[in-house]
Each structure stands twice: as structure tokens, then as C-alpha cells.
Amino acid sequence: MLTRIISAAVAIVIAVAVLCFHNTIVLNIAVAVLIAAALFELLRAEDCLKFKVSQIVCYVFALTVPFSRYLLKLDESIMYYITFGFLLIMFISFIGYYKTMRYEKLAFMIFVSGFVSVTMSTLLYLNRTGGEHGLFYVVLTLCGAWFADSGAYFAGTFLGRHKLCPNISPKKTVEGLIGGVITNGLIFVFLGFLYSKIIYADINVNYMIMFILGMLCALLGLLGDLSASLIKRQTGIKDYGNIMPGHGGVMDRFDSVLFVSPFMTIALSIFNIIE
């Protein structure tokens, strides 16, 4: 437990330091590092690291996405060229590795390269398009991905009776899910109140939408958690890594973010939570 607390404290300090420079390229670099680490963990879990050329191509493509804003200033269509080049080289490498690489491996490498890089990069989009509230949207999204676990843990510990997905995540319960959903909704309301009354005064927050978004984030976060857990089950690993002692790898901590961040990007473009 002490190890978990210490590593979490260190991670929070690093996160706060990065967010202090959220309007600079520092945030892009931080997201790129997370993308590279998560992609490495997924490729290792699926035993794809032996395909060296394909692996490097995946990293190169994935790391262009968080910097696409800068690349688009050079040419508005450049990401189309990069994507085509990525797919072309991946299929050429597939032919080169024809003796050892099956098409499932190729499909997995292409999918996770695109999925992880695009979903993580929506944090950058939230920060940029949110204007003066961009940092709040990023923090809100991260809280929406992570805080539901705390509510689910306590509700499941004291009230848990019915297993949710015993074959995928044995410790999760239906009662824990309900507790996590409600807790997340209330946390969103609290963060909205805190932001409007203390941090950024003289704004109005739509607490009903905040509560609903918080609950939906909890459900999507669970989907991300279960999806990542299912990959671990099928590949026979306990954790994706040990970059955070007591917590596992980047994927163990950011699996929920991969689903919550794109959702919040879409939701906040439709609903005005701040007026």
C-alpha cells in the first residue's frame, strides 16, 4: 500500500508540473511519451516486439499524431500522406515477415497504433479548443476516467454481492459499478462547483449535465478497464508493466482515459457545461 501511495504521489507531482505548461509543447511531449509507453506495452503483451521494422513504423506513426497540429500548418493534407505511408510500409513489412507474422498481428499493430495515438491526443484537442477553460476540461476528463474506481472500490468492498464480469475482472461487482457511477456524477458536480465559485468566479455551470457526463464517463471508463483486462487475460499477463510500482504500467492507469477522453471531446462540443 505504501508503494502505491508513493508512486501515486510522484505521478501527481509530475502531472501537475506538466499541466502548468498546458499551453506549450510540453503537454504534447508528455502525451507523446504516454502514447509510446502504452503502445510498447500493448505490442509486448501481444508478442509483437520481435517484428522490429513494423514496431518502429508503429512508433513513428503514433508519435506524429500528438504533433499533428504543427504538421498541419505545413500542409493541411499531410496527415493523409503520413497515414497512407504508415499503412503501406506496414503491409510491406507484413510481406517481409511472412514466415512469422500472421495477419492478426498485423491488424493488431495497425489498430493499437491508431487507437492509442488518436484517443490520447484528444486531451490536446480538449485543451486547445476549450480556450480559457481548456485546462479545466482536461482535468475534468482525467478525473472522469480515474475517480470512479474509488467509488466502485468502496461500494464494492462494503456492499458488493453480485459479480459483474468474474471471468474478466473477478473483483468487480454490480454494486461497485453503481457506486462508481454515482460517485463520478457527484465528483463532476463538486468539481464544477469548485471551479465556478473559487477558481474561475462569475460563471454558471450546468450541474445536471455535469452529473450525467460524470456517470457516463464512469461507464465508459469501466469499458476501457474491462477491455484492457481482457487483453491481459488472453495474453496471460498480470500487468502491462511496472513503470508505476504498485499500479502497473501506463496502460493499467490510462486504459479508462482511452475511452473517456474521446467521449468528453464529443460531449463538450455538443453541450455547454459552462455559461
pTM: 0.93
1 pLDDT above the threshold of 70: no
24 pLDDT above the threshold of 90: yes
pLDDT at site 2: 63
194 pLDDT above the threshold of 70: yes
Is residue 48 within 8 A of residue 108, CB to CB? The reply is yes
Average pLDDT over residues 186-214: 92
Grid coordinates belonging to 194? 469548485
pLDDT in tens, 29-54: 999 999 999 999 999 999 999 999 99
Q: How confident is the model at residue 202 (pLDDT cuts 50, 70, 90)?
A: confident
Which of the pair, 243 or 130, is modelled with greater confidence?
A: 130
Average pLDDT over residues 176-205: 90
pLDDT at site 160: 64
Which of the pair, 10 or 38, is modelled with greater confidence?
A: 38
Q: How confident is the model at residue 198 (pLDDT cuts 50, 70, 90)?
A: confident
Beta-bridge mates of residue 163 = 173
pLDDT in tens, 100-149: 999 999 999 999 999 999 999 999 999 999 989 999 999 999 999 998 87
265 pLDDT above the threshold of 90: yes
pLDDT in tens, 53-91: 999 999 999 999 999 999 888 888 999 999 999 999 999
